[in-house]
Structure 1
Amino acid sequence: MEAVRRWRTDWRYPTALLCIYGFFSTVKPMEPFLILYMTGPDKNLTTEEVNNTIFPVWTYSYLSVLVPVFLLTDWLRYKPVVVFQGVTLFITTAMLLWLKSVPTMQAMQFFYGVVTASEVAYFSYIYSVVDLKHYRKATSYVRSVQLLGYTVGSVLGQLLVSFDLMSFNNIMVLTLVFTAIALLVSCLLPMPQQSMFFHRRRTGQKIATEGTARHVDGTTKHTSRAKLSLEQMRDEKVEVEENEDEARPGLDEEGPTSKDPEESVGAERCSKVLLQLWRDFCQCYSTRELLYWSVWWAMATCGYNQTVNYVQVLWEHVQPSQNFSVYNGGVEAVSNLLGAASAYGIGFTEVRWEQWGELAVGGLSGLEAAALFLMTFTGNIWVCYTGYVIFKCLHMLLITIAMYQIAADLSMERYAMVFGVNNFGALVLQTIITSVVVDSGGLGLGIIAQFTINAGYFSLIAVVYSLRGLFTIWRLQKSNKSHESTSPIKNEPPGFDENRF
């Protein structure tokens, strides 16, 4: 019993449970064949209905619930939102299995938008139950297992379809079983006692640890010292305000003091958190380099989501499934594995990203645009598959570079906030493009026109960031030359021997 109790209090216990949840919630054998399932005899929907009427609902619902879910996630301390994600994922799968009409499929897409918005709870939960020294290891486990789940789901789906082992309906039943397992595991997660914003620890230990973490080889960046100082002032301010609250008359009679880690969060506390979030937002995005990388993050993520969401429609257009044994699951698995390998490999390259990063982003975004043009105008499904794998690998590579550049000098709270804001910006752009280009209420363009626009979109990103990268290199070289010309030079008389003294 003592060994069990120690295991349940160890950081590996919640990490293992979250990994199990992440695995079973992402094993979706039907996902690479979703278009075939919805347009086939099981649902009997048209490609136009799926592309222009049903799929756009996911974008709108994701945008509408993202901010409320983000705030509720921290306020409710993560676990309730993780369980809620499991419930809505189960509802989504059940609706996809048993319902058929266009309105019910639109409702299914709404629930899937809620599932996607709740991802913030999955990735934030671990930081509330794991010590700072285990952050990196726990994060790698959680993210790797989720990627493994997607890959296993794609391979499993491909095997079941290629060898005709199950019908599409039976594959959906299997997916529902995996989802039910994930939901049960989410209920076993321990409830965190703190969160990043609403339920904070009032100790100086975290500040000291973060301050130490910013020292590398005995040196500290000036920006990091400024950030640390600001965080110290912020926490000191919060502590003073809480101490003032404790000193107010009548608090002792009304309930627990602010020293209770499970104190209720009132409207005043919420307003303070929101105000502090706004101040942190202004402080973070006042840095020009972070702003440029964040803008690229938002634009690239928007284009990536538009491509991945509708690529199955393109594959069906290039090579109709009734004339061809589809390999969508295998392509997804290969693209995930190669993308992960490229993202992993970039960590071992010695490149001055502050100098060459923007030019690299521009050049690789140009390759993404070329891959999209190739996918759009080819008549060979294998060339289209190859273009997709190249596009996805390049995106995973670039997003890893951007994550590193953005997170280099951010504390954990600001890390979550900046990435949340960047993804929200991407979603706003995606909503605009979807409503204008894809939605039947807008232009309602066909799949070839959509992917042509996507390719042109990445071409624009490539031009802008290539020019920006060239300007950055020119500015740095000019600054170095100016520094060399103004450095002190010895003006010594002829015959002067400094060793003489």
Structure 2
Amino acid sequence: MSEPWLYPTVLLCIYGFFSSHRPLEAFLMPFLMGPDKNLTETEVVSEIYPLWTYSYLALLFPVFLATDYLRYKPVIILQAASYVVTYALLVKAQGLQAMQIVEVFFGLATATEIAYYSYIYSVVEPSHYQMVTGFCRSVTLLGSAMGSLLGQILFSVADIALFYLCVITLVSFCIAFVAPWFLPMPSKSLFFHQSESSSQDEAVLETVNTSPLIEKPEDPESNKQPNANEKTTLKSNTSSSGLLDVLKMLWTDFLQCYSSSTLLAWSVWWALSTCGYLQVINYAQALWEDILTSKNYDIYNGYVETISTLLGAFAAFVVGYVKVSWAVWGELALCIFTVVIAVCVYLMYAVRNIWVCYTSYIIFRAVYMLLITIATYQIAANLSMKRYALVFGVNTFIALSLQMLLTVIVVDSAGLHLEISIQFLIYASYFAAVAVIFFIAGLYKLFRSRTSGGQNELSSAEA
């Protein structure tokens, strides 16, 4: 091909589409509780689903390092294999322990997702980063929406049994499994294999800083350019680095990144909200099944997932053209939108009506995807690709750690083991607490800016 970036991008998009095309996923809870698996709600919610959270958290950091050390491609193949094993077990295996093993493999597949989004940066020129990232993210959203829509049509209109939706999903993963074998092997990576990485990182920094998608923070701390230490880090180690060197570099970068108050604020929201978001989407189907059982009524989970995915993608796209001084109003904006999220989750608990639940879920996902897009660009605005990968990994690790605590306390049979409806009351209260935190932070920032502004005027008058 005339364009060297096109071949790996096309293969990665093929993989992303088919690995996200999952007709069964919107009906996983009814499938597990139906005649094919014959599990109870308590077994699914309290003994099976928590295994995904625990395995994802346990594997995240080792996979993060292994992905970079192995240079992405083997880990993408591992992810594809994990998805195939997950759905092969769903098709053939029976019993509680078998489904727990399914969740462990699914946790491995989720943890290795970082390889999919990191690979492309090691094989294309920095000038194409923004474009290929858009392709890869868009095609996964398209695959997810089309999978949910196909699942709903086959289930409701064609009256296809959920077992065959599982088989179709397995076929999608088998097709996806083929694509990564043909990906070119990268010669470099962000941390362990760093030849040519300095030019890559600096070009990425320039690309992100000049991006028109989101207004950059105006806070002086967040606007600072890479200092001498960062540039030295980027330009040193032109050959492979050892594990100890990489860990030292990660720790140094971690301290420098989170010394920015703006980055810290957006990262705190990212971690706290992602924890609650994952918890809600993990157990939403259980709540819907509790309100309106699929054994006796028609359900429309697939339509809901399709609409929420497309609406969330549209909201994330539109926000790129909204000009707001996030450095000044960021915390209060996060507070207001988090209140909306809390209200949506509370309505899912309080109003025992499936249509209210569906609508609240759609708004919940759309608002979260809008805010996480803003947070992503605010965090990435002045970071090199290397530091962005670190911050993304740390934020995700904190979110999963909090989710594990929430799961152990609220969901797991070893904890309080609350009813599913009461769990959503807890999640609504959790988001309300997050909103209060950012309301206080926003008022404090406004008070500081007003005070500093008044002192500057007084100093000018005296001069």
State the TM-score bracket (shorter-chain normalisation): over 0.9
Q: d(CA) in 1 for partners of 2:202 and 2:444?
A: 38
1:232 aligned onto 2:226:
no
Structure 1 residue 75 corresponds to structure 2 residue 52: no
Of residues 44, 47, 55, the one that matches 1:50 is 44
Partner Cα separation in structure 1 for residue 242 and residue 315 of structure 2: 44
2:397 partner amino acid: F
Alignment of 1:130-141 (within 5 A): 130-141=124-135
Q: Which runs of 4+ in 1 moved over 4 A?
A: 210-217, 219-226
Alignment partners' CA distance in 1, 2:462 and 2:290: 69
The answer as to 2:418 corresponding to 1:424 is no
Which ranges in structure 2 are unaligned for 5 or more consecutive residues? none
Deviation at 1:213, TM superposition (A): 4.6
Supply the AA of the counterpart residue of 1:421: V
* Counterpart position of 1:128: 122
Residue number among 160, 165, 172 corresponding to 1:166 in the alignment? 160
Q: Which moved more, 1:70-79 or 1:342-351?
A: 342-351
Bigger drift between 366-375 and 319-328 goes to 319-328
Seq. identity, %: 47
1:224, distance to aligned residue in structure 2 (A): 5.7
TM-score for both structures, normalised by structure 2: 0.95
TM-score (norm 1): 0.88
AA partner of residue 57 (structure 1): L
1:251-400 aligned within 5 A:
269-400=242-373
Q: Report the Cα distance in structure 2 between the residues aligned to 1:211 and 1:407, rounded to whole angstroms.
A: 9
How many Å separate the matches in 2 of 1:354 and 1:65?
A: 34
Which of structures 1 and 2 has the bigger CA Rg?
1
Alpha-carbon separation, structure 2, partners of 1:396 and 1:311: 17
1:99 aligns with 2:93: yes
The whole-number CA distance in structure 2 between the counterparts of 1:139 and 1:470 is 36
Contact 2:57/2:401, CA 8 A, preserved across alignment: yes
How many residue pairs get matched?
457
1:207–1:232 Cα contact (<8 Å) kept: no
Q: 1:271 to 1:464 in 2, by over 3 A?
A: same
For the residues of structure 1 that align with 2:282 and 2:199, how far apart are their CA atoms? 44
Deviations 1:203-251 (A, max 9, x none): 764465356557759x997766552422222245435xxxxxxxxxxxx
* Whole-Å separation in 1 of the counterparts to 2:236 and 2:68: 20
**Matched AA of 2:229:** L
Tell which deviates more after alignment, 284-293 or 189-198: 284-293
Q: Does 1:191 align with 2:185?
A: yes
* Corresponding residue to 1:157 among 138, 151, 154: 151
The one-letter code of the counterpart of 1:271 is L
Cα distance in 1 for partners of 2:221, 2:434 equals 31
In the TM superposition, what is the alpha-carbon distance from 1:316 to its structure 2 partner? Answer: 0.8
Measured in 2, the distance between the counterparts of 1:215 and 1:25 equals 32
SS in 1 for 2:49: helix
CA 1:318/1:174 → structure 2, altered by over 3 Å: closer, same or farther? same
Report the CA distance shift for 1:449/1:200 in structure 2 as closer, same or farther (over 3 A): same
Work out the CA distance in 1 between the residues paired with 2:360 and 2:369. Answer: 14
Q: What are the superposed Cα offsets for residues 261-293 of structure 1, whole Å, 9 maximum, x if unpaired? A: xxxx5xx72211111011101110111221121
Report SS of the residue matched to 2:190.
Answer: coil
Q: d(CA) in 1 for partners of 2:205 and 2:132?
A: 21
In structure 2, the partner of 1:15 is 9
Report deviation, 1:323.
3.1
Residue 222 and residue 192 in structure 1: after superposition, are their counterparts in 2 closer, same or farther (change >3 A)? same
Per the alignment, do residues 43 and 236 of structure 1 end up closer, same or farther by CA in structure 2, a change over 3 Å counting? Answer: closer
Structure 1 segments unaligned to the other structure (5+ residues)? 1-5, 240-257, 259-264, 491-501
Report the alpha carbon displacement of residue 473 of structure 1 after superposing the two structures with TM: 1.4
Compared with structure 1, are the counterparts of its residues 24 and 269 closer, same or farther at alpha carbon in structure 2 (3 Å cutoff)? same
Q: Distance in 2 between matches of 1:144 and 1:97?
A: 29
State the Cα distance separating 1:164 from its structure 2 match.
3.2
Offset of residue 380 of structure 1: 1.3
Per-residue deviation, residues 299-356 of structure 1 (Å, max 9, x unmatched): 1000000000000010011112233210000001101111111111111111100010
Contact 1:73 1:121 in 2 (8 A): yes
Note the alpha carbon deviations across 1:181-200, whole angstroms, 9 max, x for none.
00011111111111011111
The residue type equivalent to 1:91 in the other structure is V
Structure 1: which amino acid aligns with 2:334? V
Write the deviation string for residues 40-77 of structure 1: whole angstroms up to 9, x where unpaired: 00111001100000000001111111111110000000
Give RMSD over aligned pairs. Answer: 2.0
Give the drift of 1:30.
Answer: 0.5
